Structure 1
Amino acid sequence: MIRLLLATFIFTTFMTHADVHVVVHPSNADTFDVTTVSRIFMGKNKSFPSGQPAIPVNQTGNKALLEEFNDKVLNKSSSQIKAYWSKLLFTGKGQPPQQVVSEAEIVDLVSKNPNIIGFVSGDSAQNSNLKVVLSL
């Protein structure tokens, strides 16, 4: 019985883990690290390293992927991020990233607009209309 419970716990732990791939338009020649991506998604940088405007887009349909991105890139929980943006909105000092529901929307937006940066899972990252700049 204990083995079954342990196996179930290990299986569900691995199944909820999502590979996060930060993606941009293929024409974007910038180099990215976790700090750069975090600063863009937290509204601290409004442009890519090259100076081109950066428009971050969150994908909210896949909760496991969003949580993984928040944890690995932003080093914050969803509730911490919500509180952060609530404070900035209230003081008029910032706007949170645009939100879309699906990875297909991220793929579509990024492939059409060189200013958008988003994140997807492993399956969507294989799209030739995207450039993966960071994988976690």
Structure 2
Amino acid sequence: MLLVSGLCMTNVAGAQVAVIVNPKSTTAQMTAAQVSAIFLGNTRAFPGGGVAQPVDLPESAPERDQFYLKVTGKTPSQVKAIWSRVVFSGKGSRPKELATAADVKRFVATNPNAIGYIEKSEVDASVRVVFSVDGR
């Protein structure tokens, strides 16, 4: 398992992942703790108000592993376990999983409450970066 995680991380070792929101969002910046709280189901609110609607890349995306490891400090299996408990308890539902980074960007660009993450090089004016995850 560690070997697999290591290989996945090698694919994005120099990459940066950007946490993005809709440009109309009142959230200008976020901390790792705030992003983590939304993506692990601890809160549904953006800092300063508004209901957050998180979206994930597919499990096969190396950026997803990097995002969760760097932002939450959790491995993919730990994240699955956390969400299983949250869903089972009825306290929330997993972030919607979209097929590609382009889909994530499009969803965030068209939904004022959406929050997602993509490779920083894919960011354009249709979304706003509120947090960056350094891949190094």
Alpha-carbon contact 2:41-2:83 (below 8 Å) kept: no
Residues 83-92 or 70-79, more deviating = 83-92
Inter-CA distance 103–84: structure 2 relative to 1 (3 Å threshold): same
Match of 1:55 among 53, 56, 74: 53
User: Are 1:129 and 2:126 matched, yes or no?
Assistant: yes
In 2, Cα distance between equivalents of 1:115 and 1:37 = 14
More helix by share: 1
Counterpart in 2 of 1:41? 39
Q: Which amino acid aligns with 1:135?
A: S
Give the deviation of 1:60 after TM superposition.
1.2
Alpha-carbon contact 1:24-1:131 (below 8 Å) kept: yes
Counterpart in 1 of 2:3? none
Alpha-carbon contact 1:62-1:102 (below 8 Å) kept: no
Alpha-carbon contact 2:9-2:66 (below 8 Å) kept: no
Where 1:20 maps in the other structure, the secondary structure is: strand
Give the deviation of 1:13 after TM superposition.
6.5
In 2, Cα distance between equivalents of 1:14 and 1:44 = 30
Q: What's the TM-score, normalizing by structure 2?
A: 0.83
In 2, Cα distance between equivalents of 1:101 and 1:61 = 9
Match of 2:24 among 22, 27, 31: 27
User: Are 1:16 and 2:15 matched, yes or no?
Assistant: no
Q: Which amino acid aligns with 2:19?
A: V
In 2, Cα distance between equivalents of 1:85 and 1:14 = 26
Inter-CA distance 27–44: structure 2 relative to 1 (3 Å threshold): same
Instruction: Report how many aligned residue pairs link the two structures.
Output: 124
Where 2:79 maps in the other structure, the secondary structure is: helix
Give the deviation of 1:43 after TM superposition.
1.2
Q: Which amino acid aligns with 2:122?
A: S
Alignment of 1:62-73 (within 5 A): 63-73=61-71
Percent identical among aligned pairs is 33
Counterpart in 2 of 1:4? none
Any unmatched runs of 5+ in structure 1? 1-11
Counterpart in 2 of 1:101? 99
Match of 1:77 among 75, 78, 94: 75
Q: Which amino acid aligns with 1:91?
A: S
Alpha-carbon contact 1:22-1:135 (below 8 Å) kept: yes
